[in-house]
Structures are given as structure tokens and as C-alpha cells.
Chain A
């Protein structure tokens, strides 16, 4: 049945005006409701030296005490520790995962320090890719473990970035959204801080490190994002302890010379970080991770596996066709291997069979031989027996004859002896 298909193309799309309230403006609400019932995932990776304040900052950001013991400095290598938490605020459920780099910067030889981090990030992408490539998949309730934001903690030296920082950030910038922050910023004076920030930013630019850009395409957030970007990297101070300031309790760090208030924008950029990370761009961070970093990973991975979109003859291959081809190839190989194995098996069986036949033949021969020998012996024995019997017969005959003779002889002997006796007596007379 022939079908005429009319496809809408962009030129044909007419803008229609509505003559009344239809009601699809509730669509964003419908969408959001679905997402809230499922819950959101957000995964933060904290990269920084041991003791630089990663755990404290997380506690401060999320207003809780995530239980964890401080790490020691004698880890043999860098390892990643991930912890998941479920937070709820009004009707929003957030599945938060915080990944910590334990032992970062502690080793004497830090050449490979970035590797476990890159591997972890790739592993999360891989897990998602595997789910996506499955035949029976469930992407809509997949627990997303991909890292959405990487907070890079810069040590407050006041000079410049360490080479470890540059190398690590360069390795991570195409895989994750990097937000650089200056940790323990209460050790830097205000004038030094400004110089430090500019030095860091210029170093990042000159080394081509791509950090996360706060989006400025949407009017409502463009302004706030633009103003905040100027303050990068954010100089933060973390604290979960509260100090009485005026008549309120506030998160702060108490020193002999004064109190550093965490949420005071004159003291540090904590509020800016919280604003940018959570209250304004959380969704954009998630989206960038999915549409940019993940897609890049996927593209590289698939090309690596040998899939192509088009081949030189400009005939479009589809992933699925290549999949099919590979699968057939694989099945063909499998069949070949099966055949080989079968052949070998058959051969072995034949050999064994021949061996067994040989053995059987030998046994038969032996048996025959034995039988023959046995028969011969038997015959011999019977011959002997016959001989014996003959002998016995003869003997009996002889015996009988002898006995007869004996009795005859006795008789005549008796006579004879009598005669002999007489003779003897005669002689002796």
C-alpha cells in the first residue's frame, strides 16, 4: 500500500495564534513534577590535598555533618572515596554523592596522581554508556553517578598554581566541569588575594585549561553569572562551628585576632560559591555533563571500538549496522571455534578408539594364546594320563601275571623248596 508522507520542515511551520486558553503552559510543571517524584542526582568531586578542607567545605555547603574520619598523610597512592546521601528540602529529594580524593598530593612521586581521578570519571561515563547500549535498558530510572561538578581546591600559597594543579586540571578539563576554589582563604590577606586570583586565572588561560563557564545565554541568570565569574576562583572558608555574632549564631572561625564569618561576603566568597553551585547553575552543570562531557567520551569510546559514522565511500554506516556486522563476525568466529573444537574432539575420540581396539586385539591374542597353551597342556596331561593308565593296566596285568606266576611258583616252589630242602638235607648228610 503506497503511502504519501508529508513531513513538516522548518519552512512550513506556521506560527499560530490561540483564540483561547488551551492549557499547555502547565507543561513545564508536568515535567518538573515527574522529576521531583523521581528525585535528582548530583555528584560532586572534590580534588585537593589532604587537610585542605574538602570535607569541612562540604559540611558547610550542605549544612550537615557528613560523618567521615580525617585522612592520614601516608596513603600510598591516590584513591577515590565516594559517599552517597539523600537530602530533602521541601518536596525536593536530592541524591547527593560526594567523591573525595584521598591521599592527593601526599606522595613523593606525584606523576600518576591524576590517573585514579581520570579513571573514576571515565568509569562513571562507561557505566552510563553500557546502560545506554544495552538492548533492554532502563535509562529513566538509572542512578546517575557521573560527576557533575569538580571542585578543585587550590592551596593558599599566595603565589601561583602548583604544577600538580596545572597538570591535573589539564587532564580533567575535557571530562568534567571544573570550578577552581582557593581553600582556607582566611590565611590570605585581602590585597594578596586579589593578586593571587589574577595570577591563577592568567595561568589557567595561558595553559589552556578550560574551566566551567557559568552560562550567560539566558537573561534571568546572565547577569548574576557574569558578575560572579569575575570573582573566580572563589576564595572560601569552611566551618561547621557556630560563633555568636551580635545576637545571632553564625558559622565562623574564631581566632585570637577576630572572627572569620563564613557567610559574610566581605570575609570570603563562600556565599558566591553556594549561589553558583547550587542555587543558580545546578541544572546547567548536570546538563553540560550530559550533553558535552559525556557525548565527547561516548564519541571517543565508540570510535575506539571501531564504529564509524561514515566511511570513505561516503556511504553512511549506522552504529547498528556495524554492530550487526561485528556480531555476525563474532558469531562466525564462534562457529569456527566450535568446529575446531568438534574436530579435535572427534580426532581424539578416534585415537582413543584405535588405542582401545589395539588393546582389545592384543588381549584377544593373548587369550587365544593362553587358550591354545592351555589346550596343549591339557592334551599333554591327558596323554600322560593315558600313558599312566596304560602303565597301570600293564602293571596290573603284570601284577596279575606275576601273581599267577607267583602262586604257580609258590606251588612249584614249595615243591621245589621241598626238593631243595631234601637236596640240601641230602648234601648236609
Chain B
């Protein structure tokens, strides 16, 4: 891996000069590859263990945003994903008091622990999205919120005396809930995803998938994928960020089966002697974690068990860097951050 390593050896010429002990700092040569297995164990591979210990001590942050019209099962799905009451469902549905007049952004944080790994999970809910009669520009508050988080991080990073660990409130993943109409995407869906796929990782999911049969499901998915492609909307995992062939084949498989058609539930029922999460209907019990019934397990494995770290990295290395470059470059392309974030900036941990 000789990426970016200059091959010059600057020191040889210097010693012929007048005795002035100020040579140019020596620059490393092209690395020589040495296979050490032949000569004995050194112990370099222990660094993996060292790293793991370090990361477990510091803990992780993960911020997930759910966007979709009310009643699509967002809170239930998040609760099912993280197997706990992470979101409080809009159980009492009183029309006057429940639909906000504008899109609200509600971020609630929790600390969950599993296997010694501590995670600070923040679920960002967007009640009011798509619920008005006139939904023009209802993605703007969401885009603004996402950019505000980038701005906060940038401000922290750019400080002279900065914290050891900059608190990460950036949205790592945005689950977009598609209504299971069976036809195609709605204009609102397209507009939202078009605007936001450039600033955040969007994972589209088909909500309440138990209303579709298997054929309807696969046709709908195909149509949705086609439409997204036609409109140039890249959802996560984005094709352009595949690092190598291995990544590409793995991600291609996932992309082919997205958007995942999911069913959420936090109630348990007895099926075949086991207790499973499911939905009880007159015609049967829909098992949430059964791959024949719905693709919840795929979504869970994808988001949590294999690509959690990657979601964070793409957010940090790509979306954040894009924001930062734009901000530092023209400093006028983006609107100045509003006053209320300045105020709450001080009160943040």
C-alpha cells in the first residue's frame, strides 16, 4: 500500500552541506513488504484486541431517523428493531391534538447495553411529515435538522481547544417508510428522497407489508427500485461508495432485495411452542422474524448486525465531509445557522 508515499530520500544530499543540523524532515520511502510469519511471532495481531477493548470502553453513538406519514408503523418498527420501548407510540389519537401543524423533529436518547457494548441510541421522529393537506416543502425542516447536526459537529471540530470525543448527533441512518399502495411511489416520496439522499443515508422500507401478497410485494419492490433509479435517487448502500469487489457483490445482493418489506410488532404469541413476535389476525399469526412472512429480519441484520459501523462511517467520511467542504468553500451556499442552535450549543453535554 504505497498510496501517496513519496519515494524521495532527502537526507543523502544534506550531509554534504556545511555542518548545519537542520535537514529537511526525512520522508519515508516506499514501504518494503516483509512477511514475518517465517521468523517468529511478534504480536502485531494483538492490536485487534486492543482496539476492541478501547472501543468497548468508549461506547458508541447511533442516531436513527424515521420519516413517514403517521400510522405507517414507524414507532412500532423501531421498538421491534431494538427490542425495547424506544419510541412512545401515538396511542391516543386525537385529531386536534395529535397532528402537528408543521413537521416537528423529536429526538429522544436512550442507553442500551448488550454483551458489554454500550450504545447511546437516539431515535429522531418526524411527526407531521406528509400529514397536512398541503405538504409542500415538508422535507425542509428535516433537511435543516440534518444540516444543523453537521454544523454542530463542524463547529466543535473547528475549535482550538476541542473535546476529546466530539458528541455525535449527526443522523447516521434515515428510514423512509413507503406506504404499501402496491402501485408506485408517491410524488412526496420521490421529492423527499431526491432532496435528502444527498445529505443522509436513506434506507427505504415498505411499511405494513402484511397487506400485500408475495407477488404484489415483489412487483411493487421492482417498480419502486425502477422508479428510484429513473429519478437518480441513490439509497444506502450507495453504489458509488463500494470500496472493493467484495463490498460490491455483497451490497449488490442487498440492493437487489431492497426496499425491505417489513412488519413490526412488540407483542409475543405462541407459535409451534415458541414465543415469537407477531401480529395476530383471524387468518393466522404473522411472525415478524420469519423470513417467509416478511423481511424484518433482513432489515435488522442489515442495519444493526453488519452495516451499523458502515452507516456511521459513510455519514462521517462522505456526507459530513461534503457538508464541510461546501460550508468552508463558499460560506454562503448554505444559510447561516439559526439562533436557537447557538443557544442550545452551550447546554449540550
Contacts and interface: CB of A to CB of B under 8 A. Distances in A.
Contacts of B117: 24-25, 27-28
A5 B107 contact: yes
Nearest to B142: A3
Nearest to A110: B21
Contacts of A3: 102-105, 141, 144-145
Interface size of B as a range: 35 or more
Interface residues on A, range: 35 or more
A9 interface: yes
Contacts of B120: 13
Contacts of A247: none
Interface in A103-147: 107, 112-113, 115-116, 119-120, 123-124, 135-137, 139-141, 143, 145
A1 B141 contact: yes
A309 B160 contact: yes
A89 B37 contact: yes
Contacts of B50: 280-284
Nearest to A317: B160
Interface stretch (A48-56, A91-99, A190-198): A91-99
Interface in A67-87: 75-87
B340 interface: yes
Interface stretch (B177-185, B204-212, B229-237, B306-314): B306-314
B158 A19 contact: no
Nearest to A136: B325
Contacts of B108: 6, 8, 12
Contacts, number: 306
Contacts of B161: 299, 309
A324 B331 CA distance: 8
A284 B57 CA distance: 12
Interface in B101-149: 102-117, 119-120, 122, 137-138, 140-141, 144-145, 148
Contacts of B111: 13-16
Interface stretch (A31-39, A165-173, A392-400, A416-424): A31-39
B164 A291 contact: yes
A291 B166 CA distance: 12
Contact of A85 (B25, B27, B31): B31
A128 to B, nearest CB: 13
Interface stretch (A57-65, A347-355, A366-374, A377-385): A57-65
Given A25-B114, A30-B308, A82 B47 contact: no
Interface stretch (B69-77, B188-196, B216-224, B341-349): B341-349
A220 B57 CA distance: 11
Interface string B49-86: 01111111100101000000000000000000111111
Contacts of B42: 61-63, 87, 89, 274, 278
B349 A10 contact: yes
A87 B308 CA distance: 29
B91 interface: no
Contacts of B144: 3
B245 interface: no
B94 interface: no
Interface string B34-56: 11110111111111101111111
Contacts of A295: 162
A34 B313 contact: yes
Interface string A164-201: 00000000000000000000000000000000000000
A14 B110 contact: yes
Contact of A278 (B3, B4, B44, B60): B44
Contacts of B18: 76
Contact of A19 (B56, B84, B331): B84
B46 A278 contact: yes
B248 interface: no
Given A3-B104, A6-B106, A87-B34, A116 B21 contact: yes
B43 A274 contact: yes
A412 interface: no
10 contacts: A8-B108, A8-B122, A26-B308, A78-B21, A115-B21, A139-B317, A143-B4, A307-B160, A309-B159, A323-B328
Given A9-B347, A116-B22, 18 more contacts: A3-B102, A4-B106, A9-B349, A18-B82, A24-B60, A24-B304, A25-B114, A25-B116, A26-B305, A27-B117, A32-B52, A76-B18, A77-B15, A86-B33, A87-B34, A94-B47, A282-B46, A298-B160
**Which 7 residue pairs of A and B lie closest in terms of their CB atoms, listed nearest first?**
A77-B21, A8-B109, A25-B115, A76-B19, A30-B309, A283-B50, A123-B25
